[in-house]
Structure 1
Amino acid sequence: MDAAYLDEFDIKKYVKDRLSEIKDEDEYALAKSVLYDGLYRMSEVFEERYRSLYKKVYDELESKEESYEIAILLLSKNENVFLRMFFPISDLDVLEDKKNDIKEDYTESEDLIKTVYLNATDTVCKEFSQEKIGVSFTNNGEKHTLSVQPKKALRYRKEVGKLYETFSYNELRWNTVNTVYLDRFFDIDLSKLPQNARDVEVDYGKYADMIKEELYPVWNVEKTVFKSSTFLSPSKDGLYYEREMVKQRDKEIILRLVQKTEGMVGIRQEEEKIIVKTYEESYSDLEGYHIFDIRYTKEELPTGLISNKREDGMIGRLLNKTEEKIHTEAEIERIIEELDIGEYVSLKSCERLPIWKEVSEESRILPDMNNFSSSDFPITEESPKLVLRFSRNSDSNLCESMVRYAVSQLQISFDEYICVGVLENTYYTKGIV
């Protein structure tokens, strides 16, 4: 039998078909005893043992610290919604005295930033960032206008960057955070308005129907302080001081991370505790993060949630465990499959190109989601290019961003290349879902 036949072999059907061919009653009874009560029952035992062995190996390869996910959701400031395991990415979005609120009788002289969400494709977002937005206001009874240029709200990316640094300090594997929502927030700088400006209005022009003024992003990451009382007294190993924090039994928190501070030598995560090594004896509190397991309660997840959760198979877990890299087309396909972006795009092909000539600049989708201080990805002519071509499975305005997310994830594993995505426009869109 060839491999394909073995994969499709149904022993129950095989036994039934063979028995149906036997006409003699005595021979049928003997065959039934041998085939059904023997061969079929034995196959069930082997199948169950295989499943048990597979699950045992699969579970042993799983590391709770590596199975986390970062999920992002958009909420409205106008709605009183409380989600127990979600927290604002930026504290500026929830301050009671919001500087970014525009009021009719605005009289403050300090800088004023209005943050808006643009519900559009990546291409339209890029065009918006290059536009001049008109702002009208009244000053001393006279009508005036000025122009401002929208800028990406990079404070969200910077928060993701801080989280990345903390993962690095805690020596944990980083999975690219899907920033498709975060990259659609823009700051409108109104600091040039006169101190006594009134009746302030922003004219978004052709983008007006795409603008959402009251949205802000939340994620399942909580900033926290680990009290010194939760750490055991420091002990000295001859060179450094070590502080241990025993992890509390809280099944909703999948990961605890300690931020690095001055004087720290290293942070080590163990199954039951976190060990912090310092140059000097210290009893101070430590800042860090809690990452919540949003799937622990089995409750229905909020609509519109975007996550970096990966559906790791046994091969993926084994490679993560051994830190081996297999640079094949099959490995690329496996990683893309794990990302769970099939609702938006599918990988069609991948190829290695030494130069840019075969990929036009306007069609390149670059792996920029691991850049935390800007939204640009540095490119060079020297590095070989790994070009991944995707087709649309939806007319969603997030398809381009999902390709960015995919190539950003691949860039971590294929770092000797510049991973470039190309999206074939098989769906017609106007920039809005």
Structure 2
Amino acid sequence: MEDMTNLKDVIIPERLSKMKDLQQHKLLNDIMRDFLINLIDYQDNANKKLVERVFSEVQDVESRYDIFVTIAQKENVSPIDEFLFPVFPEDLEIKEISSLDILDGIKKGEDIKLSTVFLKCGYTVIREIAKSARKFSGEIITDRKSHRIKVKLVQNKSYSDEVENIYNIFQKNSVAWKTLNNPYLNKFFDVILTGCEGMIEEDEEIQEINFNLEEHEQYRLSDMVLLWNVQKLNLKSDGFPMPAIDNVNFEHSISLSKLGYENGYLVDVNEALVKYIKRTEEDLIIISPMELASTWDILKIAQNPEEEKRKTKYELVSNRRKPGFINRFAQKQNSLIRTKGEISRIANSFDVSKYFELISIDILQGKVGSSTTYDLNAFIVDDIRIGNDKKIMHLKFKSDHMDNFLIHDHLSFIVSEIQMYFPEYECEGELV
């Protein structure tokens, strides 16, 4: 295309300017204007259309399902936000534990959850706290007296369970799963009451609960909520279901005109009631044996380029890949990856890749003690390859952002995504 442009704009005018015979100059100029230049313009347009067609064949459909995550204090979460939503809406509710609940738990010998805290620290510290059975001192102050207590920290699993639930919904909708970059997920801990000095009476009113995490107290943040761009909706199909092409099932359509065409949509379904789900530009179509119009549980994954640039107190992160034809094209290929260059391309294809540089890749017989990453897709079961038989793919990275308390979590995301391409290895990462 560039050669044709040079021919029209540079080469032809240059050749014409060198002709001394004015009559020949005029004759050749007329020929160029009436035939050759029109031919060049036609070829230019044809080339542009070809390029547009190639790019349209490799549509960036995957970006509709990019998931963004951050945290915020309860009081700063807007109930009318159209981009970020609490993972669990009930997290915004004020929860108060009663003396009756504590008394009942003590009598039954059960652990009692007092609250949930967020620990703003790196993964290496989180890992040690999660492994520890350490107990911390505190007190429950009632309207009558103060009771000394012992508490322990237990990693909150409700958010990781919800990620697994989302993964299963992706599978039901036949949408390719991309590792969720959620560096905040493993930093939520439940504060569990393990012992209380003296008996709290049923009619005592709890006024305050205090505890001290000692050297970890500096990391503690209270009343934090995990937010993401996933909204749960219950929507009714539009109009009457239409018979499907098999004359057995029915097509239930949900218009996306008001919801937004740019967003991703997943149907949380009972597989017995849904045979197939397809997405057109304007509608979400559910193929089901149900003859009557019904309501459906829909997950809307909101995409908004303006909101993605929002300034948040805590980093707004995502599993979004960098825009570009090569990344989009590579996702459509099923070729085996066997080169360091291709692994490097994967490692550098995400927004958070800006924090890292891949240094080396080593295949080892056993694990290395210096590894500081974890598997974000641990819930995906590999029934074919047994973990004990896998060799270790040890990836070394360097970073200039070691002061970022999320740095090991970001690296774990990248390594977990590489792991998806290499199920025959167990991938682990190290910052050097």
Match of 1:93 in 2: 91
How far is 1:220 from its partner? 0.9
Q: TM-score, normalised to structure 2's length?
A: 0.76
Q: Quick check: 1:345–1:402 contact (8 Å CA) kept in 2? A: no
Match of 2:278 in 1: 269
Q: Quick check: 1:154–1:373 contact (8 Å CA) kept in 2? A: no
Is 1:257 aligned with 2:266?
yes
Q: Quick check: 2:70–2:317 contact (8 Å CA) kept in 1? A: yes
Match of 1:333 in 2: 344
- Cα separation, 1, equivalents of 2:40 and 2:428: 47
How far is 1:329 from its partner? 1.5
Report the count of equivalent residues.
388
SS across alignment from 1:387? strand
SS across alignment from 2:209? strand
- Cα separation, 1, equivalents of 2:345 and 2:47: 23
Match of 1:293 in 2: 303
How far is 1:274 from its partner? 3.3
Q: Quick check: 2:266–2:299 contact (8 Å CA) kept in 1? A: yes
Is 1:408 aligned with 2:416?
yes
Match of 1:107 in 2: 99
Q: Quick check: 1:225–1:288 contact (8 Å CA) kept in 2? A: yes
Match of 1:315 in 2: 326
List per-residue Cα deviations over 1:367-396 (Å, max 9, x = no partner). 42123599xxx9833112221111122121
- Cα separation, 2, equivalents of 1:281 and 1:192: 57
Match of 1:387 in 2: 394
Is 1:60 aligned with 2:60?
no
How far is 1:85 from its partner? 1.4
Q: TM-score, normalised to structure 1's length?
A: 0.76
Match of 1:302 in 2: 311
The residue type equivalent to 1:340 in the other structure is D
How far is 1:107 from its partner? 3.2
Is 1:150 aligned with 2:142?
no
- From the two aligned structures, give the one with the greater helix fraction: 2
Match of 2:217 in 1: 208
The 5 A counterparts of 1:101-250 are: 101=96, 106-109=98-101, 112-129=113-130, 130=132, 131-138=134-141, 143-190=146-193, 194=200, 196=204, 198-228=207-237, 230=238, 232-235=240-243, 240-249=248-257, 250=259
SS across alignment from 2:378? coil
How far is 1:132 from its partner? 2.1
SS across alignment from 1:334? helix
- Cα separation, 2, equivalents of 1:133 and 1:56: 64
Provide closer, same or farther for how the CA distance between residues 209 and 47 of structure 1 changes in structure 2, counting only shifts above 3 A. farther
Judge which range, 193-202 or 162-171, deviates more.
193-202
Which of 355, 370, 376 lines up with 2:377 in the alignment? 370
- Cα separation, 1, equivalents of 2:343 and 2:267: 33
Q: Quick check: 1:114–1:190 contact (8 Å CA) kept in 2? A: no
Is 1:71 aligned with 2:68?
yes
The residue type equivalent to 1:291 in the other structure is I
The residue type equivalent to 1:284 in the other structure is S
List per-residue Cα deviations over 1:228-279 (Å, max 9, x = no partner). 4x26415265584233314422446511111121522433223244343345
How far is 1:52 from its partner? 6.5
Q: Quick check: 1:367–1:419 contact (8 Å CA) kept in 2? A: no
The residue type equivalent to 1:93 in the other structure is D
- Cα separation, 2, equivalents of 1:127 and 1:316: 37
Is 1:399 aligned with 2:391?
no
List alignment gaps of at least 5 residues for structure 1. Answer: 1-10, 17-25, 34-41, 425-433
SS across alignment from 2:287? strand
Q: Quick check: 2:150–2:194 contact (8 Å CA) kept in 1? A: no
Provide closer, same or farther for how the CA distance between residues 251 and 270 of structure 1 changes in structure 2, counting only shifts above 3 A. closer
SS across alignment from 1:283? coil
Q: Quick check: 1:72–1:305 contact (8 Å CA) kept in 2? A: yes
Which one has the largest radius of gyration? 2
Provide closer, same or farther for how the CA distance between residues 180 and 164 of structure 1 changes in structure 2, counting only shifts above 3 A. same
SS across alignment from 1:408? helix
Provide closer, same or farther for how the CA distance between residues 385 and 369 of structure 1 changes in structure 2, counting only shifts above 3 A. same
- Cα separation, 2, equivalents of 1:342 and 1:393: 12
Provide closer, same or farther for how the CA distance between residues 253 and 289 of structure 1 changes in structure 2, counting only shifts above 3 A. farther
Provide closer, same or farther for how the CA distance between residues 343 and 312 of structure 1 changes in structure 2, counting only shifts above 3 A. closer
SS across alignment from 1:156? helix
Q: Quick check: 1:407–1:419 contact (8 Å CA) kept in 2? A: yes
Provide closer, same or farther for how the CA distance between residues 283 and 84 of structure 1 changes in structure 2, counting only shifts above 3 A. closer
Q: Quick check: 2:393–2:425 contact (8 Å CA) kept in 1? A: yes
Which of 284, 300, 307 lines up with 2:294 in the alignment? 284
- Cα separation, 1, equivalents of 2:43 and 2:307: 32
- Cα separation, 1, equivalents of 2:239 and 2:362: 51
How far is 1:48 from its partner? 9.3
